[in-house]
Each structure stands twice: as C-alpha cells, then as structure tokens.
Structure 1
Amino acid sequence: MSVTPDDEGFMAAAIRLSRQHLGRTATNPSVGCLIVKDGVIVGQAVTALGGRPHAEPQALAEAGQLARGATAYVTLEPCSHHGKTPPCAEALIAYGVARVVISVTDPDPRVSGRGITMLRDAGIEVDAGVLEAEGRRSLAGYLTRQTKNRPYVTLKLAVSADGMIGRQGEGQVAITGPEARAEVQALRAETDAILVGIGTAISDDPLLTVRTPGLEAQSPIRIVLDPSLALPLTSKLVATAREVPVILVASENVSHLAADAEGIPPSVLPDIFPTRGEIDKEHDQNSQADSSSPATEDVGQAAIPQPISPLVGGEARAGEAGPTDPADRLELRTPGRAEGGTTPTDAADLDSRRAVLVAAGVEIVYCNPYHPEVLLPALATRGISSLLVEGGAKTARLFLEAGLVDRIELYQAPVVIGEGGIESPLDATDIPSGFTHMGTQMFGVDRLDEYERGL
C-alpha cells in the first residue's frame, strides 16, 4: 500500500504525542503510537515515565479487540528483542494488526530492521520512513546518543538589540520578555540536563530549574563546568542539590589533590548521580525504569581522562569566568550573587570544600571541563540524551568551536544593554556553517530563530 495523506496525518499526531514525555523516559526514547481502525483512533499511548511500559503495548491494550485488522502508527521501529519486557513487535503480531506505519528505523544494530522483518514475516504490511524528518527531530536525543555516543546539544542564547547577552558585574540581566522566558522553561522541561560555566554560576547564582507551575518535577539535571570546585557553598544550586541533582565537572588536577588529601585514588565520573528517569520515578511512584531499546543502557564509551588545557582563543568574558579568572579566587559579595567562589588553595582546603559540597548533595565528577569531546560521551553513558547549554559566552564558544552543538535557539530582543555589555558569541549573521534555519517564531516582542544540523 502506498503512503497516503491520512497516513501522514496520523503519523504527525503520533509525533506530537511522543513529545509529551521528552526528557522523562530515562535512557529510552519517548515514542508515540496510535492504533487506527476505519479512520478512527481506537488506541493511543506514549512511552511511560521512566521508560516502561512502552508505547505500543499501552496503545494496543486501549484498543483491545479493535486492534485486529487495524493500522498501528509508531514513531520508532518496534523493538524485536526480549529484555525486561517482551518485544513490541510480538505484541503487534499477537493483537492481529494488519499494517504498521513507522516514521524512523531504529539505528541500534540489535534492532535496526529486525522489528520490521519480524512484522513482515508474520504477514503484516509495513511502511517505514513516513514523516521521517519530523520523526527524527522528535527522537533527536535518542538518535544522537545511539549514533554519536553523546547527548544532543542545544545552545540557547538571548541577545540584545546591540548584540549583548548581559552586562559585566550585574549578574542576571533580563533580556527577553515573559513570553520568551516561558518558552525556555518548556525547553528545560523536555531536556535531560542543563549546563553552565562556573562564571555564570558565580555571577548569576541561577537555579536552572523549571518554574512553570505543574512542571517543576521535570527540572533537568544541573551541570556546572567547575574546574577548581569554586561553586559558592551558599549558592542556590548547592542549597537545592537534594531537590534537583547538581553535578560539578572538575579538573583531574583537583581530583589528584583530593587523592593526596585522603590517601586514596580519585574516581573519574563515579556512577553516583541519577538519570532523569530516576528523578521522575521519585516524583511518580507508579513509574518504573526500563530500556525501551536494547542498547539504551550501553550507549557510549567511558571517556579516557586527558590533561586539561586552556580553551584556545577562549579568554574569559564577563559572566563566564575562566579557571584563572579573579572571580574564581575572590569571595564575591555583590548583591544578588552567592557568597563564596574562592578557589581551594591546597589539598586540605579542597578536601574540606568537597566534603561540604557532597554533604549538601552535590555530585562531583572529574572529566576535563574544557574538553566537551570527552565530557559528552561520559554523560551519555549515564543516560543523558539531551543537553541544554545555557551560559555563558565562554561556554557557548567552547561547544561551538568544538563543533558539538546540534541546535541553536537564538532569541533576539529589542532591549539595549549599552556600555559594559557582554558580547554574544554569535548572532544571526554568523551562524556556523552546516546549520539550517528551521524557522522563526515571535514571543511577545522577542524573536526566536532556530537552527539545526542534520542528524
């Protein structure tokens, strides 16, 4: 059977459905499934919070006997292996569906094409690649972690009319209006983790949580590139670390100091922080963790520690202090900032600070803060499929120059910063090559342009 406009319409609905649980299905992709009989949706589901149950068996159970002879629309190829749950392909066969329409073929070599073969061998008609571009966008985190062994990285920037992202010495500066800020909260809610540099963490003292009413439990894991463990002990991040996980990425040089202080070898990226799905499980006692696709728990290779080197051409700018920036060494007491920010000077000082951070619930890992090509695969091994880079200029430039940004969300506001502004690392006139302009939206008076690389 050839693909029809109705097929595309139902697949578009399945893709919209799949987005409901983005960032909330642990290591699993958020998949949408519709069961359609005689042009009517008789069953529908999205991968459950924590990753289990999968979308297909839920939708089939809702359809019941009406599934026999129906068409199933699935955003990702149904799994074909026996894991913690039976294969979704077997469930589709058992319920007697006549046809399965798939948007994206699973890239996992243990699945890719095998689910389709299982269905066809059972006499079920299969059409794949329907609205594939849209389906791949909805599965970007999963696909990137499967094929590139790293999270899908989104860079968000809010730029003033005069090309600035903030003002020196003033911490957080409102550039966009409430409508744009609400959209950013929605982006955070569907992302596994959010990352900032230590300069931003010190100068802005941000929470980095989701503050939209009803979505607070969807706050992402918060990551700070903090080579010298300079995060102020009085910061909001430290104060809320037991509510929403905080990870400090410190230099291996710091880990060696800690080892000297304790007489034990330092650990690199200890397996001690929860995945986003485990966080959701704590908020929803009915959800259960699982792997929707066979390789989801094995994605990525452990990063091999490499010596830290300064970012080439990446001198620190205001709002994004480097490892030798005075802001890392001086105690900051500017109104609106957290007190602290002092870099430990010896092993005993470092050990004391580390103990306080850990006691507060902060996780510390040692993995080259200024080498994202090492850090990102390590994050992928911990189940992080999507990462939002949100501050500041130096950190944005770090990921851009490494070629590790997959999507750019560029907000442009009519606000003028003026003298003392912090220059944006890019604007609409110098988007790196390889990015495609995906569209423009207006949020109040602020303009959002989205750019993406091909998956």
Structure 2
Amino acid sequence: MYVVVNAAMSVDGKLSSRQREQIAISGPSDFDRVDRIRAAADGVMVGVGTVLADDPHLTLDVEDRRVHRLKNGRSGNPARVVADSRARTPPDARILDDEATTYVLVSSAAPTDRLEALGDAGAEIITAGSDQVDLKTAFDTLETEGVNRLMVEGGGELIFSLIELGVVDELTVYVGTKIIGGRDAPTLADGDGFVTDFPTVALESVDRMDDGVLLSYTME
C-alpha cells in the first residue's frame, strides 16, 4: 500500500487549538489540491479523534472528479477509513452515509454493542490487534479490499503511529499564517514522540499557495 499523509498546520505546528475544534488554516487553492489528492486515492483515512471533533464527510468536493472516477470503473468517492480501537465512532457520523464505503478499524477490545451499532449503520468492520488497532495487519486487509493508495488526513496521533511504523511514503504539509499556541493543542505528530532514531524526510518541493506555503516531502 502506498500511503500519503496530508495536513494543514499553523506557523507553530498546530493542527487545531487545545479545544480540538476545526480551524480554517489554508484557503481555496489548498482545498482544491486536497480534493485532487482524495480523487487519486482508493481510501481516505482519519483517526477517531478527528471524527469526534470534526464529523468530516471525506468525500470529493468537485463533481467532475467523481464523474471521472466512475468513468474509470471506480467508485464515485474513495473509501473512508477510521482508526478506532474502541469503536467510538458515532453511528450517525457523516462518514457512515451511503456516499462511499466506510471501513472502521477496531481492536478485539471494542465493545460488542458498539460494533453492532456501527455495523447496523453501514460500517465495514475490520478487527486487528488485541488492545489497539494493529495498523499493519489492518492495512493488509484493506489492500485485499482494493485500497492500494491511501490518503491520511490526521490527526496527530494517527500520523505519529504511521510514521513510527515506517509505512508513510509521502508527506505534504500546508503551513498557514495563524499562530495557535497551547501545549495541549494537537501537532502534526503527537503520540509518545521519538527520543532516538528520529525519522527524517527529504524535501521535494516548496510552493507558495494562498497565504501560506506547501511543503512536499518523501520519507527517507
């Protein structure tokens, strides 16, 4: 599986404020760029924290891109994927409508009643791992379902986990003009953090976009 991580962050590296509410960091040009990346992907992934905070839809904004996918024998929208060890995704979340297939990755510790509620809401459940989602195993299952190119949109805990596992191929980061601050505000890579063997990236390009800058990297 080819994994592309995309994020927008403030000047000081925050994805949102300490209240975890959605903040507009980029502008129209970057929104369109993100939609193009989604259109090229087989799946779009977020962590359950993003679902609970933002209730994203994760579908394409531009109708022509949906039509193009359909003409090429693909679904109109890429599949939606949620990393959710305890099955906390609300059954009425927007990602569980009928606009695209939605896979919820859970651990075997997820409560049965929550799994049943998600299944009734239309989610495809993939169980991998005993306490936390085993992402590598879950990704293997996603590949058997035709998800060969995955776009990851956050949040910081999920991005850190994927970098730690060494499964990220590309990283694109839009850096806006806001300063958010706050020691408890989420950053690009949260989790436990690295203390040795720090991963590094290779800078491929720097582009001015809207009022900020787009940084494109490949993982080394």
* TM-score grouping bracket, smaller chain normalisation: 0.7 to 0.9
Q: Distance in 1 between matches of 2:167 and 2:85?
A: 20
Gaps in structure 1 of 5+ consecutive residues:
1-150, 255-343, 345-349
Q: Are positions 1:450 and 2:212 aligned together? A: no
Pick from 53, 62, 66: which aligns with 1:203? 53
Identical amino acids, percent of aligned pairs: 28
Alignment CA distance shift 1:362-1:373 (3 Å): closer
Task: Please identify, of 386-395 and 357-366, the stretch whose mean Cα deviation from structure 2 is larger.
Answer: 357-366
Q: Which string of whole-angstrom CA distances, capped at 9 and with x for unpartnered residues, describes residues 398-440 of structure 1?
A: 00111111001111111221346323328xxxx933x322112
Q: What residue is the counterpart of 2:35 in the other structure?
A: 185
Select the structure that is richer in helix: 1
Q: CA deviation at 1:354?
A: 3.1
**8 Å contact from structure 2 (residues 20, 185) kept in 1:** no
Is 1:357 aligned with 2:118? yes
Partner of residue 70, structure 2: none
> Structure 2 CA distance, aligned partners of 1:375 and 1:395?
14
RMSD (Å), alpha carbons: 2.1
Give the TM-score normalised by structure 1.
0.42
Does residue 391 (structure 1) correspond to residue 157 (structure 2)? The answer is no
Correspondence for 2:93 among 235, 241, 253: 235
Q: Which amino acid aligns with 2:102?
A: V
Query: TM-score w.r.t. structure 2 length?
Result: 0.83
Decide whether the 8 Å contact of 1:165 with 1:424 is kept in 2.
Answer: yes
CA contact 1:209–1:216 (8 Å) conserved in 2: no
Match of 1:439 among 202, 205, 216: 205
Structure number with greater Rg is: 1
Q: Deviations over 1:84-109 (max 9, x none)?
A: xxxxxxxxxxxxxxxxxxxxxxxxxx
Cα distance in 1 for partners of 2:13, 2:145 equals 36
> Is the Cα contact below 8 Å between 2:8 and 2:173 reproduced in 1?
yes
Give the match's secondary structure for 1:373: helix
Match of residue 223 from structure 1:
81
* Distance of 2:181 and 2:106 partners within structure 1: 34
Amino acid in structure 1 at the alignment position of 2:119: V
The within-5 A match list for 1:258-297 is none
Alignment of 1:316-327 (within 5 A): none
Structure 2: runs of 5 or more not aligned:
68-75, 191-197
The answer on whether the counterparts of 2:101 and 2:123 sit within 8 Å (CA) in structure 1 is yes
- 2:11, 2:176 within 8 Å by CA — same for their partners in 1? yes
| More relative contact order, 1 or 2 (CA 8 Å, 6+ apart) | 2
Shift of 1:453: 4.0
Residues paired across the two proteins, number: 202
Question: In 1, Cα distance between the equivalents of 2:17 and 2:89?
Answer: 21
1:253 to 109, 116, 127: 109
Task: Name the residue aligned to 2:177.
Answer: 414
Q: 1:405 aligns with which of 155, 159, 168?
A: 168
